[in-house]
Amino acid sequence: MTAAAAATIDNRLAAVRHDIDRACRDSGRAPGSVALVAVSKTFAVDAIEPVIAAGQRLFGENRVQEAKAKWPALQERHPGIELHLIGPLQSNKARDAIALFDAIHSLDRPSLAEALAKEIARQGRSPLLFVEINTGGESQKSGVLPDLADGFLADCRNKYGLRVSGLMCLPPADEPPAPHFALTAKIARRNELNLLSMGMSADFEAAIAIGSTHVRVGTAIFGERD
């Protein structure tokens, strides 16, 4: 990565932080109440280094294997990095996921709840857990259907002994996101969950207005993915 490319990433990160702060102020929220998850999926270590150098410590990846290949060395060089899994998780990768990640945003089915509970007990690590809601009812997407969310959350707690902290959603690409954020926030409220993982590069400001606590921003920081 050239110095110019690193400077571009610096500027983009500063702009995203600025926009987050403004969105917080506009909705009467404290600027520190929204965590920026910098989504580094598909980007190599040399594109990630300048973002770390600019002070970012919280990153998101969508694949266990990719994260495992990239992050342990980076984490050794830069203490205090927090890593979140934002993509779908296969139950047979629960062991690696619990070992590597500080949060999992994609809990969406009983078999995964069971696998995670087992690994949390085995490894004595407890990452933050978000249940993903398929607010658009899209068949190709993972996530729990809104009507089944309360029952799944109760099962997570009572059947698997999991402590879920929040909800995540990924609105359909071709619809206004606000109603999907609002539905997710409503399910969280009635289940007494405090965290909301909502908002990406194109819509994080709208998500913050509706209560998002974790925005997942890739393109606006790192540029277009191949």
Ligand X SMILES: *Cc1c(COP(=O)(O)O)cnc(C)c1O
208 binds ligand X per the rule CB under 6 A: no
184 binds ligand X per the rule CB under 6 A: no
Min dist. Cβ of residue 220 to ligand X (A):
6
Task: Tell the burial category of 176 from Cβ atoms under 10 Å away from its Cβ (0-12, 13-18, 19+).
Answer: exposed
Rounded to whole angstroms, the Cα distance separating 123 from 143 reads: 26
Tokens 């990768």 belong to which residue?
93
Contact pattern for ligand X over residues 39 through 58, marking x by CB under 6 A: x-x-----------------
23 binds ligand X per the rule CB under 6 A: no
- Check: CB of residue 33 under 8 Å from CB of residue 24: yes
- Check: CB of residue 136 under 8 Å from CB of residue 173: no
**What is the token pair recorded at 176?**
């206004």
| Sequence-ordered list of residues with C-beta below 8 angstroms from that of 145, at least 6 positions apart, any chain | 133, 134, 137
Contact pattern for ligand X over residues 87 through 126, marking x by CB under 6 A: x---------------------------------------
Tokens 């929040």 belong to which residue?
166
Q: Which of 40, 56, 62, 135 binds ligand X (CB under 6 A)?
A: 62
Segment lying near ligand X (by CB under 6 A), choices 50-58, 90-98, 185-193, 211-219: 211-219
Q: Which of 36, 149, 170, 193 binds ligand X (CB under 6 A)?
A: 170
- Check: CB of residue 84 under 8 Å from CB of residue 37: yes
38 binds ligand X per the rule CB under 6 A: no
217 binds ligand X per the rule CB under 6 A: yes
Q: Which is nearer to ligand X, 14 or 121 (CB)?
A: 14
> What is the contact surface with ligand X in residues (CB under 6 A)?
39, 41, 62, 86-87, 170, 200-202, 216-220
